[in-house]
Amino acid sequence: MTPRYWNMWWTFTMVAAVVTLLVVILEAFGILQDLGLALAVAGVLVTTVFGLTASTRSSLTGFRGDVVPRLDRIITLLEERLPRTTT
């Protein structure tokens, strides 16, 4: 069972982070040479973007689950208690 906050973007973030670490290790051994530095920087940027997207999606899921039912309840109460207007 996956945790409630997990979404596909967290998976993308983890994959990008692992690939970036692999690139850094290969760069340290001199296998990728100058290409390794560019790939490592790109990997950090991609991991950051995926992480920000994942955290935003997780926050919105929690927001939607907690706040929207309350807003629906407020709307129902207002509709019940306020007089109808005819325009």
The per-residue pLDDT for 2 is 59
The per-residue pLDDT for 87 is 66
The per-residue pLDDT for 3 is 65
State the Cα–Cα distance between residues 51 and 41, nearest whole angstrom.
15
The per-residue pLDDT for 61 is 66
Count CB atoms within 10 A of the CB of residue 36: 18
| Stretches in the chain below the pLDDT threshold 50 | none
Q: Locate tokens 């309350």: which residue?
A: 70
